Amino acid sequence: MKRYDENLQLLDERSSVLPGIGGTPYFFDCGPSGHWFATGWGNREAHFQAGYFVVTAPVVLGMGDSILVDFGERLSSERIGTARDDGTPTGSGPHPFGRRTSLAIGPNRVYMGDGGDFRIERFDLRGNSLPWMEWDGPDLEITKEHLDIYGSARLDNVSSAQKPALRRWLKALSEVERFPAYDALRVDPVGNLWVRYFRKPGEADSRWVVLNEAGNLIGEVRLPGSTKLLDIGSDYLLVVEKDDLDVESVLLFRLDRSGAGR
């Protein structure tokens, strides 16, 4: 982790190994009060199998080198394992339609959810449970059309020699019947929670819904699917955008909250 000042001069650098999660974090967020919130990778070797499998890992809230709250084992990621013909594992990667535990931390609350439905757990900074956030979202069923769109796009980008192995890998996609409800959480400076809906094959835009601290939906933001949201300010969005050649540009958008007075 590298820390920079406002003039982008490097201030310091430190390892991202955190206590309580078994090594480097699989997902990590830090808050304005100095707290950090993280989940580990889990033991992928112990859970491994060719095709679909699930890995769990601890989720902890800490500050500095101290663990403040241990939330126990949670879903780390749903994965697809690959193996040689003799069964020897060759590796694994996240299932492209798989769930994972997403985390976010704000000034007074932490948020956690694995995208199984449109619900998010929330806690105060001492780990005390608060009422869940719940809302209605889009349909999550994975259809044959989704599988065909995703598979065709992948097959078009590999050589003929690679296609048989990729087709075997694509068969594991059907082990998951529903898309995740969401796959990212962020808290803005006002304390609102931003939730990114999972972008399905064929969808051009990335959709973020915004909920206030009371759990009420207050808005939606659509970004091109080629963008990655880096930062949310009081009046701006900072994103990275890729063009057709995967060249990246950093863009700053104005965020107007005046319409709803928030």
Q: What is the largest CA-CA distance in the chain?
A: 62
148 in a structural domain: no
pLDDT (tens digit per residue) in 238-257: 999 988 888 999 999 998 87
pLDDT (tens digit per residue) in 201-221: 999 999 999 999 999 999 999
What mean pLDDT do residues 134-158 have? 95
Going by pLDDT thresholds of 50, 70 and 90, the confidence category of residue 261 is very low
Q: Between 73 and 85, whose confidence is greater?
A: 73
Measured CA to CA, the distance from residue 50 to residue 260 in angstroms comes to 50
DSSP 145: H
200 in a structural domain: yes
User: Phi/psi at 147 (nearest 5 deg)?
Assistant: -65, -40
252 in a structural domain: no
What does the mean pLDDT of the chain come to? 91
Q: What is residue 259's predicted lDDT score, i.e. its pLDDT?
A: 59
- The parent domain of residue 110 ranges over 2-137+180-226
187 in a structural domain: yes
158 in a structural domain: no
Judge contact between 44 and 35, C-beta under 8 A: no
129 in a structural domain: yes
Domain count for the chain, please give it.
1
Going by pLDDT thresholds of 50, 70 and 90, the confidence category of residue 77 is very high
Q: What is the pTM of this model?
A: 0.89
What mean pLDDT do residues 157-183 have? 92
Q: What is residue 86's predicted lDDT score, i.e. its pLDDT?
A: 83
Going by pLDDT thresholds of 50, 70 and 90, the confidence category of residue 4 is confident
242 in a structural domain: no
59 in a structural domain: yes
CB neighbour list of residue 128: distance below 8 Å, 6 or more residues apart: none
Judge contact between 4 and 11, C-beta under 8 A: yes
Domain CATH number, residue 216: 2.40.10.500
Which residue shows structure tokens 């939906």?
217
Going by pLDDT thresholds of 50, 70 and 90, the confidence category of residue 168 is confident
pLDDT (tens digit per residue) in 95-113: 999 999 999 999 999 999 9
Pairing status of strand 51-63 against strand 35-40: antiparallel
Number of H helices, E strands in the chain: 3, 18
pLDDT (tens digit per residue) in 5-50: 888 899 888 776 788 998 889 999 998 888 999 999 999 889 898 8
